[in-house]
Amino acid sequence: MKIISMDVMSTGVIAYYVLIASRDGLFTPIISDAANGAYADPVPQAVILTGIVIGFSIQCLMLVGVMKLARDNPTLETNEIEKSNTP
């Protein structure tokens, strides 16, 4: 449940930034014959894309950790898991 909640939170933050950044009348900065106008800044787009990739990699890392815990401890009781992993 914690992994799913982290993914939902990450998706919500990205959706919030996309909502804030979306404005009418902005053009993508691509070479064309159109007249110069208000262009969208590509830096926030790159930051959001980087955030998506980092969020995906963190989620994969957490899933690998859960798979290792599930293999080593065949129980759902956190108290038992903590007892078996304490040095």
Q: What string of pLDDT tens digits covers the 87 residues of the chain?
A: 888 898 899 899 988 888 877 766 666 667 666 666 677 777 878 888 998 999 999 999 999 988 988 888 888 787 887 887 777
Whose structure tokens read 């080593």? 72
Short-list 22, 24, 27, 18, CA closest to 49:
18
| Model pTM score | 0.67
Q: For residue 63, what pLDDT is reported?
A: 92
Query: What tokens does 35 get?
Result: 């007249």
Neighbours of 67 (CB within 10 A): 10
